[in-house]
Amino acid sequence: MKYRKLDANGDPIYGQDGNSFVTDKDAVAQAILTRLKLFEGEWWEDVKDGLPVWSQLLTYGGTGNNNRSSIITSRILGTKFGNTALVVSMNNVSVVYNSTTRKYTYTGSAQSIYGEIKITNGGS
């Protein structure tokens, strides 16, 4: 598997004599990150694709950390390349809400077809 690298702004990198690609485990990690950053309704070609941040994750009153965890986990497990599932399982999933900063932190380990990938949204 080969993916074009993204820069710090999330834009594709071109040129660099073939050094503008990531492969295998790094490509899966980037595919997961890309899937988590796509919000539902954001992509004009398929408005149903994406993480349901506004409709489910941040709804008034909340739906509980377990449900939020399962929504994010499901999104990660759905990472594919063509018809090939890239993520086999998720382990050590944790969702923590910080009421002071009003942020959720999601962490876990994705077992991909190329090896383990640590997942975190870097919240506080």
Return the beta strands (E) in 56-86 as ranges.
80-81, 84-85
Q: What is the pLDDT of residue 19?
A: 85
Contacts 24+ apart (CB under 8 A), 104-108: 104/57, 104/65, 104/68, 106/68, 106/69, 106/72, 108/73, 108/76
The domain segmentation of the chain, as residue ranges, is 2-85
pLDDT (0 to 100) of residue 104: 79
79, HSE (Cβ side, Cα atoms, 13 Å)? 28
Stretch (H or E) spanning 27: helix 24-37
pLDDT digits (tens, 9 = 90+) for 13-25: 998 777 899 999 9
Residue 79 pLDDT more than 50? Answer: yes
pLDDT at 114: 96
Token digits of residue 22: 């990531």
**Which has the minimum average pLDDT: 2-11, 44-53, 54-63, 80-89?**
54-63
**pTM of whole model > 0.75?**
yes
